Amino acid sequence: MQLVYEDEHLVVLNKPGGVLSVPGRGLDKQDCVLTRLHTTHPTAMVVHRLDMATSGLMVFGLHSDSQRALSMLFEARQVHKQYMAWVNGLLPLAEDWQTIDLPLMADWPNRPLQKVDAEGKPSVTQWRCLKHDLQLNASLLALQPLTGRSHQLRVHLQAIGHPILGDGLYAPHLHSPHGLMLHASELGFPHPFTQVPMQWQSTQPWPL
């Protein structure tokens, strides 16, 4: 777990894949990013989460006013988030962003899975194909979720026929030695107390 930035109000760090963002239910699910962060920053508070299998950038507030202000930035969609993902199949290389606009809701009989459903909440993802790996029959995508639904990127990409490599929930047949190949690569927002624009980048963790 790599510390990327800190001041008296907030901390930004790089979450490894395979680690929970916050404690789960049961004694075996107490190890998580927040618990580890508390060993050095005991006042750290959760602002947003990444799926256990997802790696990349996360921000934590260091006091209640900071947590509240950061949460409001997320709610107001003033936070820039970009992800990198390797997906199955070869999508067209392009400079322009493409849009997936499909409503999502919980797949209750199969929780924690989510599904596309006309009665679900509006969910929008933008994507752009950056390069191909012909040997893997895979494409590297830049992804920008314009909404923040659970498993949004994973379900949207599955829905268009290009699931993320290593996604044990939505494409269990697509094995990957690197686990889920989804990484939160960019995070940016105006500092909640100084309003100075802040942005961080994190390199994808896979040797591709």
pLDDT tens-digit series, residues 157-178: 999 999 999 999 999 988 888 9
- pLDDT at 122 > cutoff 90: yes
Average pLDDT in the 194-200 region?
Answer: 97
Average pLDDT in the 11-30 region?
Answer: 88
What is the predicted pLDDT for the residue at 50? 95
- pLDDT at 24 > cutoff 90: no
Q: Which of 151, 154, 104, 149 shows the shortest CA–CA distance to 127?
A: 154
What is the predicted pLDDT for the residue at 91? 96
What is the predicted pLDDT for the residue at 208? 72
Average pLDDT in the 43-66 region?
Answer: 96
What is the predicted pLDDT for the residue at 30? 81
What is the predicted pLDDT for the residue at 42? 97
Q: How confident is the model at residue 44 (pLDDT cuts 50, 70, 90)?
A: very high
Report how far apart, in Å, the C-alpha atoms of 156 and of each of 38, 101, 162 are. 34, 8, 9
With 0-12 CB in 10 A as exposed, 13-18 as middle and 19+ as buried, what is 47?
buried
- pLDDT at 29 > cutoff 80: no
HSE-up of residue 131 (Cα within 13 Å, Cβ side) = 4
Rounded Cα distance, 127 and 175, in Å: 22
pTM: 0.94
What is the predicted pLDDT for the residue at 120? 96
Q: Mind telling me the catalytic residues?
A: 51
What percent of the chain has pLDDT above 70? Answer: 100
Exposure string over 52-90, b if 16+ CB within 10 A, otherwise e: bbbbbbbbbbbeeebbebbbebeeeeebebbbbbbbbee
What is the predicted pLDDT for the residue at 206? 87
- How many distinct helices (H) and strands (E) make up the chain? 3, 12
What is the predicted pLDDT for the residue at 53? 94
Q: Which of 69, 58, 88, 75 shows the shortest CA–CA distance to 162?
A: 88
Average pLDDT in the 90-112 region?
Answer: 94
What is the predicted pLDDT for the residue at 177? 87
Q: Which pair of tokens denotes residue 12?
A: 């930004």
